[in-house]
Amino acid sequence: MNLRQGKFIDKKITHPSLYNKFQSYLLKSSFSLLLFISFLLYGNVLSAKSFSVLVYSNKFPYPDVYIDRVSSNFLQQDFDDDGVPDSVDEDDDNDGILDSVEGNGDVDNDGKINKFDDDSDGDGCSDVLEAGFPDANNDKYYGDDDPVVNPQGRVIGAPYSTPADADNNGTKDYLEVGNELNITGHPTSLNVLVGSNVQFTGAGTVANGTITFNWQISTDGGGSWADLSNGGAYSGVTTTTLSITSVTIGMTNYSYRLYMRTPAFKCGDDKITNVAALTVFLPDFDNDQVPDEDDLDDDNDGILDDIEGTGDLDNDGKPNHQDYDSDGDGCKDVTEAGFTDGNNDGKLGYSPVQVNNQGKVTSGINNEDYQMV
């Protein structure tokens, strides 16, 4: 037997190397038959006696035989093969969860009661991992190495703390069926006017279990990412829809993505949506790529803004410097100013117009050039 418990007193241990496969089976069979016959004939007497009993491992092909003077009613089962009989063992599968916690139920209906089942919910993820405990060597026992147990069958070093319920739904994760998460929606990039309210949306689904969401932000072109928190311009950061109010010009080229987890299913991979970029632009009434705050001719009519002014002569709700017909008489300002409007679109010359970095039209005809009118 693999005596993970350490040294035993008053035991004679024989090493596996002393037996070949045939001898191993012969030895097992002979002693088993002997004990069976003995208990048939003398069971009533032996049940109250202390006697020597042969115990062997079920680990093929070696018997790891030893003789132990014990008080016993019969050869006892040791499910986890740790040298502590199940009748004494407080953790029959060495997963770091007490038998009294796992119980005798069979959550996944696989014929193995929970305290003997290394995957009680049958979702392919071991109890030890879903309980929140370490198992680097993936042997489904507590710890990163072969477990060593105390006389009560508890794994030495295991805290036997309450198993995890990472999604806080009232069901321990090792008893809650989980599945792999799938992405079903990605956010799209946006190009919006400064001060706009915007939303990004992503989505994921899982057949069983709970998904947690967290939107992340990158301000350096995707070089680094951080979880967002609700507050300020941001809301809905732990939902599938992120809302941003009154975007600023400083947010231009910020990037966003949705990070999704299945906290109760430790064996599932976290998933991340595609990246969506936010581009913010300043108001540009005439769409000439010069923001209004820098544009000297907001409507490209050949009349400077400081001449047209911010008044509203015809009371149509549009300031004169952004009104192609400031007096509302049906004749456009560019024409009434004496300039050429080849397209009759209210802009100087022929469209599309060309402008300089101050927003002044440079493609006018007949040498017309921002004359004082």
Q: Please report the pLDDT score of residue 28 as a whole number.
A: 55
Asked if residue 37 lies in contact with residue 73, where contact means CB atoms within 8 angstroms, the answer is no
Cβ atoms within 10 Å, residue 250: 10
Residues 6+ apart with CB under 8 A from 270: 181, 259, 260, 261, 262
Please give the structure tokens belonging to residue 144: 């990163």
| Partners of residue 191 on adjacent β-strands | 279
Q: Please report the pLDDT score of residue 58 as a whole number.
A: 44
Report the distance separating Cα 97 and Cα 106, nearest Å.
15
Q: Please report the pLDDT score of residue 29 as a whole number.
A: 66
- Please state the length of the chain: 373
Report the distance separating Cα 201 and Cα 187, nearest Å.
5
Residues 6+ apart with CB under 8 A from 19: 27, 62, 63, 65
Q: What's the pTM value of the predicted model, to 2 decimals?
A: 0.68
Asked if residue 83 lies in contact with residue 24, where contact means CB atoms within 8 angstroms, the answer is no
Report the distance separating Cα 181 and Cα 171, nearest Å.
19
Q: Please report the pLDDT score of residue 363 as a whole number.
A: 87
| Amino acid at site 306 | D
Please give the structure tokens belonging to residue 213: 């969401």
Report the distance separating Cα 101 and Cα 94, nearest Å.
13
Torsion-angle region of residue 170: left (phi > 0), alpha (psi -120 to 50) or beta?
left
Q: Please report the pLDDT score of residue 76 as a whole number.
A: 79
Angle at 134 between CA 131 and CA 139, to 5 degrees: 95
Asked if residue 262 lies in contact with residue 244, where contact means CB atoms within 8 angstroms, the answer is no
Residue pLDDT tens, the chain, 373 long = 444 443 333 333 333 333 344 554 565 566 566 656 665 665 544 443 434 344 444 444 434 433 344 444 346 799 999 999 999 999 999 999 999 999 999 999 999 999 999 999 999 999 999 999 999 999 999 999 989 999 999 999 999 999 999 999 999 999 999 999 999 999 999 999 999 999 999 999 999 999 999 999 999 999 999 999 999 999 999 999 999 999 999 999 999 999 999 999 999 999 999 999 999 999 999 999 999 999 999 999 999 999 999 999 999 999 999 999 999 999 999 999 999 999 999 999 999 999 999 999 998 876 666 765 4
Q: Which domains does the chain have, with CATH numbers?
A: 11-164 (no CATH), 182-281 (2.60.40.10), 285-373 (no CATH)
| Amino acid at site 16 | P
Identify the helix (H) or strand (E) that includes residue 99: helix 99-102
Asked if residue 254 lies in contact with residue 243, where contact means CB atoms within 8 angstroms, the answer is no
